[in-house]
Amino acid sequence: MSINLSTTVGAVSLNSCIYNASGPKCTTKEELENIGKSFSAAILTKSSTLELRTGNPSPRYFENELGSINSMGLPNQGYQFYADLATSMQQYNKPYFISVAGLSLENNLVMLKHLNQVDNIDAIELNLSCPNVPGKPQTGYDFERTQQVLDQVCKFDRHSLGIKLPPYFDLIHFRQMADIINQYPIKFVTCVNSIGNGLVIDVNTEQVVIKPKNGFGGVGGDYIKPTALANVRQFYLLLRDDIDIIGSGGAKNGSDVFEHILCGASAVQIGTQYMREGANCFERIEKELKNLMAQKNYQSIDDFKGKLQSIS
Ligand code: RRO
């Protein structure tokens, strides 16, 4: 039986439904080329700012068997660097997505305006949820501000524009955010960014494990899978049908990806596990997903996407 993992992210077609999350190993040209050569279905850059940033002091990333904590502080080469790579990324025959995380609305508008003039960028993922820049709250937790941002950024919609949200935890917040997003021509929503301002501790040293912000940072990996699945599910049910949901959070094998799709994800990003395993993870996870689908007699992701069942 031939199994087809093809999907769409907004107006963009992908040969498979698994690609890298913005963050790990997608900052330099070499890292992006490695994603290009791998089985990742798309190439997504590190969140970019108007100017190059070196980020927060190290150690700023830590992982254990349950997941990761980071306070990278948006290290990136500046958005123009990622725009300039767009043409050479074409050689990998897969979509090229740029993540944008301006330090202000004004910066986001400058970047989006410029990126609109650049060919060979298939979509923009606007990050409304970075937890790690001291003094900059997560936009996605401020509903009024999110509305103001979407009012402005949606004027630049030549590219497929998506947004990356922080995780929500209260049912009223899902509803309030969905009501805002549904007013705009957003093509996709990525759920979720890391759970912000967690704390991981080393009992032996009685110390925090990362340096910035006294050890507080964004949590990813197994720790956050149930939260990520809940966010995918809620937004799948609450957003307009033409808005694709991209799952991100705790997917490290084919079964995890299957769960995200069952909740309603059209594609699934790999973050912590890609950091841990490198770009070979995409081929492995794709194989595992195909094996699971074969056991269940599913031929395409539409056979089970969103079809999570309740207990009657
Ligand atoms: O660079 C970071 O510290 C970072 C970002 Br921009 C983000 O969106 N999520 C995260 O966990 N870390």
- What pairs with residue 161 in β-bridges? 124
Measured between alpha carbons, how far is 227 from 147 in angstroms, rounded to an integer?
24
Cβ-count burial 134-163 (b if 16+ within 10 Å, e if not)? eeeebbbbeeeebeebbeebeebeebbbbb
CA of 294 to the centre of ligand 1 (A): 36
pLDDT of residue 134: 86
Cβ-count burial 186-223 (b if 16+ within 10 Å, e if not)? bbbbbbbbbbbbbebeeeeeeebbbebbebbbbbbbbb
Q: Is the CB of 139 under 6 A from ligand 1?
A: no
Contacts of residue 268, Cβ cutoff 8 Å, sequence gap at least 6: 17, 18, 246, 247, 248, 251, 256, 257, 260, 261
Cα angle value 305/307/312 (rounded, 5°): 170
Q: Is the CB of 215 under 6 A from ligand 1?
A: no
Entry field: residues in the chain:
312
Q: Is the CB of 102 under 6 A from ligand 1?
A: no
List, in sequence order, the alpha helices (H) in the chain.
29-37, 79-84, 86-89, 105-115, 143-153, 171-181, 225-238, 254-263, 272-277, 281-295
CA of 131 to the centre of ligand 1 (A): 6
CA dihedral 291, 292, 296, 300 (to 10 degrees): -80
Q: Is the CB of 194 under 6 A from ligand 1?
A: yes
What digits encode the pLDDT tens for the residues 14-24?
999 999 999 99
* Residue 21 near residue 224 (C-beta atoms within 8 A): no
Measured between alpha carbons, how far is 73 from 217 in angstroms, rounded to an integer?
10
CA of 212 to the centre of ligand 1 (A): 13
Residue owning the nearest CA to atom 7 of ligand 1: 130
CA of 303 to the centre of ligand 1 (A): 34
Q: Which residues of the chain have pLDDT under 70?
A: 157
Mapped onto helix, strand or coil, the DSSP state of residue 127 is strand
- CA-194 nearest atom, ligand 1: 11
Tokens of 245: 């949901």
What digits encode the pLDDT tens for the residues 175-224?
999 999 999 999 999 999 999 999 999 999 999 999 999 999 999 999 99
Contacts of residue 27, Cβ cutoff 8 Å, sequence gap at least 6: 45, 46, 75, 76, 77
CA of 23 to the centre of ligand 1 (A): 6
Please tell me which residue in 17, 130, 263, 281 is annotated as part of the active site. Answer: 130
* Residue 214 near residue 208 (C-beta atoms within 8 A): yes
* Residue 277 near residue 300 (C-beta atoms within 8 A): no
**Ligand 1 mutation target, pool 74, 128, 269, most atoms within 8 A of CB:** 74
User: How far lies 101's CA from each of 110, 208, 260, in Å?
Assistant: 12, 27, 25
Q: Is the CB of 127 under 6 A from ligand 1?
A: yes
- What pairs with residue 163 in β-bridges? 126, 189
Strand pairing category for 61-64 and 43-44: unpaired
- CA-164 nearest atom, ligand 1: 8
**Known active-site residue 154:** no
Q: Is the CB of 16 under 6 A from ligand 1?
A: no
User: How far lies 138's CA from each of 104, 130, 240, 250, in Å?
Assistant: 11, 6, 24, 21
